[in-house]
Amino acid sequence: MLRVSVNKKLNGSGGMMDLSIDFSVENGECIALFGPSGAGKTSILRMIAGFLKPDSGRIQMNDQLWFSSRDKANLSSSLRNLGIVFQENALFPNMTVHRNLKFALRNGQGASRIEEFMELFELELLKDQYPHELSGGQKQRVSLARAMIYNPSTLLLDEPFASLDEHSTSRLSGLVLEMRRSFNPSIILVSHSRNEVRDIAQRVLCIQEGRVLRDISIAEFQAL
């Protein structure tokens, strides 16, 4: 289980905001952080990823401590076993699609996994293309494949559908669900779109001004 209990003073576009969040995610559960822009959703995700240091609090994954202000612990993001899909394209521009996936493999993971993922994500025809030659939807498919290829325990999705058309969004959300079925990672989706949340999440944390306003099931969310 991932337990997150952190505080952070943020300086956003709407001025200073005290972010104070306390929630947990069961292993294999898929939750969404839902709320308007500037609510602090991405900052929460960045703190879980280890890219943003909380002012105080604790983040723990099962028995592994990721962050603790009291114990002065802050585990490097490279050791948190996370997969991340960013809103903006973060594929390595100097690497082909195949190389992007190969670069993500951990020691001991066979190259046959690349072929498996290429097929699963329908990337075979794109394997020798560079990121700048891909469409937005294709880039996000490669990003998701790269984030999952080394079998991380947690998948973080930071508004991955934000710049995609309806068709690409539906294809990518289908792949996220497929990843959940096949590899069962804990998933945290950041989104301000009700449709995306409805399609993917089991539970929703409604975030507003750095606070959890509601912690509800997807059925309750749909009834709102």
Partner 1 sequence: MNTILITVKLAIITSVILLGVGIPIAFWLSRSKAKIKPIVDALVALPLVLPPTVLGFYLLLALSPGSWFGSLAVTVLGKPLVFSFEGLVIGSVLYSLPFMVYPVQSGMKGLSPRLYEAAQSLGKSNLQILWDVVLPNIRPSLLAGLVLTFAHTVGEFGVVLMIGGSIPGETRVASIAIYDEVEALNYSSANKYALILVGISFLALTLLYSGQKRINRFW
Q: What letter does residue 106 receive in the DSSP assignment?
A: P
The residue among 17 and 84 lying less far from partner 1, judged by its C-beta, is 84
Q: For residues 123-152, which are near partner 1 according to CB under 8 A? A: 130-132, 146-147, 150
The residue among 39 and 82 lying less far from partner 1, judged by its C-beta, is 82
Q: What is the CA radius of gyration of the chain?
A: 17
**Contact region with partner 1 (CB under 8 A), list: 26-34, 63-71, 85-93, 180-188:** 85-93
CA distance 138 to 134: 6
- 1, 73, 79, 213: which one binds partner 1 (CB under 8 A): 79
DSSP string for residues in 6-26: EEEEEEETTEEEEEEEEEEE-
The residue among 88 and 124 lying less far from partner 1, judged by its C-beta, is 88
According to the binding rule CB under 8 A, does residue 40 interact with partner 1? no
According to the binding rule CB under 8 A, does residue 183 interact with partner 1? no
Tokens at 219, concatenated: 């059925």
- 1, 18, 36, 51: which one binds partner 1 (CB under 8 A): 51
Minimum CB separation of residue 181 from partner 1 in Å reads: 23
**Contact region with partner 1 (CB under 8 A), list: 8-16, 86-94, 114-122, 184-192:** 86-94
Minimum CB separation of residue 93 from partner 1 in Å reads: 6
The residue among 106 and 195 lying less far from partner 1, judged by its C-beta, is 106
CA distance 44 to 19: 9
With tokens 């972010």, the residue in question is 19
According to the binding rule CB under 8 A, does residue 84 interact with partner 1? yes
Distances (CA, A) of 39 to 33, 42, 153, 205: 10, 8, 26, 12
DSSP β-bridge partners for residue 5: 22, 58
CA distance 102 to 224: 43
CA distance 206 to 211: 8
Minimum CB separation of residue 101 from partner 1 in Å reads: 10
- 24, 60, 81, 202: which one binds partner 1 (CB under 8 A): 81
Helices (H) and strands (E) in the chain, counts: 7, 11
Chain residues in the site for partner 1 (CB under 8 A)? 49-51, 76-84, 86, 88-94, 103-104, 106, 130-132, 146-147, 150
